[in-house]
Amino acid sequence: MKTNQFVKAVCVAFALTGCVARAVNEGVQDRGPQVVAAPLPAGERMTIAIARFTNESTYGSGLFTDASGDRLGKQAADLLARHLMVTQRFTVAERQDLGRLRAEAELMGLSEEQFRKNLMGVEALILGSVAELGRDTTGGIWLLGKEKTQRARARVVLRLVDPKTGQVFYTQEGAGEATLSASSTLGFGGTAGFDSTLEGKAIDAAIVNMMNNVVKTLDARQRARH
């Protein structure tokens, strides 16, 4: 009898509190490109390029580099390029991997002069860095269960530069975070293992939080030149 009562109590507690609660929150209040103006025809789009994006934070300097350089900086550049292209208001030219493009041009029989001549010129260059990056893990244990939360935080800085004059005409920084929580009750549920993707989600959130202002600045510069 006592055993049955105990089992019932466990079931009630389990039903009331739940076994697992997982959520990823990017901390993004302004989704940026999703709320900008309508896309532009291809012939009216401003041509821009990401000239450099590096990880300048002290967090995980060895973990986030590889044989070819700064892996985290490359990830941030790819995320930024993706968000810019999603707006359908810009033509994004490649600048960070020109070596690979040059090698491909050589395979196609193009000379260095032909390669340079065929390169698309740009009206604005973007320079960026991951200025800060960190993560922490918190948790607690209570009578019937436990909880664990992992959080990553990032701060990203961007500069927009006129390639003809070298003038910096706009700069901004954005912050973002990503969290992953898991809880278990009376041993039921799951545990949140180390999630190595949280840093990327936090960087992406920081970039998204800047996108509206970046897009508006580039749009205004484009209108001023025409």
Contact in structure between 203 and 174 (CB atoms under 8 Å): no
Map out the domains of the chain with their CATH numbers: 18-225 (3.40.50)
What pLDDT score was predicted for residue 154? 93
Q: Decide: residue 6, CB within 10 A, 0-12 exposed, 13-18 middle, 19+ buried.
A: exposed
User: Per-residue pLDDT tens for 37-61?
Assistant: 678 899 999 999 999 999 998 765 5
Q: Distance between the two ends of the chain, CA-based, in angstroms?
A: 85
What pLDDT score was predicted for residue 33? 42
Where does the chain have alpha helices with state H?
Answer: 2-17, 71-86, 98-107, 112-118, 198-225
pTM of the shown model: 0.74
Within a 10 A sphere around the Cβ of 167, how many other Cβ atoms? Answer: 9
User: Per-residue pLDDT tens for 144-172?
Assistant: 556 778 889 999 999 999 999 999 999 99
User: Per-residue pLDDT tens for 92-110?
Assistant: 999 888 888 889 999 999 9
Residue 122 has pLDDT above 60, yes or no: yes
More confident residue, 114 or 185: 114
What pLDDT score was predicted for residue 147? 74
Q: d(Cα 90, Cα 166) in Å, to the nearest integer?
A: 20
